[in-house]
């Protein structure tokens, strides 16, 4: 048994070939569109993930900045208290220096008085010796 195909004229064959080619072009175009859409969706997903990471980074940076500002405020308060204490210490040192200078003058005055007393005693002893032994 031999298979027989119906006879087609050339214009019908050209029409069938053109229809197949057209269908092939449409299919290729649809596949290209799908490919472009998939690439666009993937790019959108990557961009979305990147934005999410950037947002997390911004939140972490903001938190870190807030912590740094808080620590700096505490350190400022500590420095201000230390500065106030330093001013108090400086005032105390000034008063202490004045007291020490006053005491130095008192000690110097006492030494001068002691030297005058010793010289006076030596003069008195010399006068007594002169009167007792030499004048007699």
Alpha carbons 8 and 69: distance in angstroms, whole number: 88
Q: Which residues contact 8 (CB under 8 A, 6 or more apart)?
A: 16
Dump pLDDT digits (tens) for 60-110: 999 999 999 999 999 999 999 999 999 999 999 999 999 999 999 999 999
H or E element that contains 90: helix 10-129
Alpha carbons 70 and 35: distance in angstroms, whole number: 52
For the chain, what percent of residues have pLDDT higher than 70? 90
Task: Label residue 53 by pLDDT band (50, 70, 90).
Answer: very high
Alpha carbons 136 and 130: distance in angstroms, whole number: 9
- Please give the structure tokens belonging to residue 46: 């990557």
Alpha carbons 101 and 103: distance in angstroms, whole number: 5
Q: Which comes out higher in pLDDT, residue 14 or 110?
A: 110
- Please give the structure tokens belonging to residue 116: 């005058």
């Amino acid at each position: 048994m031999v298979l027989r195909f119906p006879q087609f004229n050339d214009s019908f064959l050209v029409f069938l070939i053109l229809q197949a080619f057209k269908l092939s072009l449409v299919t290729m175009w649809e596949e290209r569109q799908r490919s472009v859409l998939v690439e666009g969706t993937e790019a959108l997903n990557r961009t979305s993930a990147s934005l999410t990471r950037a947002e997390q980074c911004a939140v972490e940076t903001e938190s870190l900045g807030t912590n740094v500002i808080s620590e700096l405020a505490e350190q400022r308060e500590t420095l201000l208290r230390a500065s106030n204490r330093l001013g108090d210490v400086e005032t105390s040192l000034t008063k202490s220096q004045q007291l020490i200078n006053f005491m130095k003058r008192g000690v110097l005055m006492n030494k001068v008085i002691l030297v005058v007393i010793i010289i006076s005693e030596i003069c008195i002893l010399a006068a007594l010796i002169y009167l007792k032994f030499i004048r007699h």
